[in-house]
Structure 1
Amino acid sequence: MQIFKEKQPLITTLGSYKSSGKTIGLVPTMGALHEGHLSLVKQALEECDKVVVSIFVNPTQFDNPQDLEKYPRTLEQDIALLKQAHEDLLIFAPNANELYGEKIISEHFDFQGLEKVMEGKYRTGHFDGVGTIIKLLFTIIQPDKAFFGEKDFQQLQIIRKLTEILKLPVEIVGCPILREDSGLARSSRNERLSSLHREKAAFIYNTLKKSRQLFGTKSADYIVKWVEDEFKNYPYLELEYFEIADTQTLKKAEQKKKGAQYRAFIAAYADDIRLIDNMPLNN
Structure 2
Amino acid sequence: MIRFPTLILERTKIPRIIFSIRSSKVAKISSLMKKCYERGAWCFDLPSPQHLETFHKLKQLINDETLMGLCHVEAEEGVSLAGKPLHQFELKVVSTIIKNIVPRDLVRYLFPAHSSYEVLTQKEIDRITFDSGRFDRAISRFTPKDSPFLLLGEKYGDWLLALGRIDPLKEMVSRIRENGFIPIFSGQWATYVLPKAKPLDVAAYAIPINKKWSLFDFTRACDLIKKFDKPVISLNPLAGGELLRKSEEAFAFLFEGLKIYAAIAEITSEEEFSRIAEVLEKVPPLIPLRKT
Shorter-normalised TM-score: what interval? Answer: under 0.3
TM superposition score normalised by structure 1: 0.27
TM superposition score normalised by structure 2: 0.27
Higher relative contact order (CA 8 A, sep 6+): 2
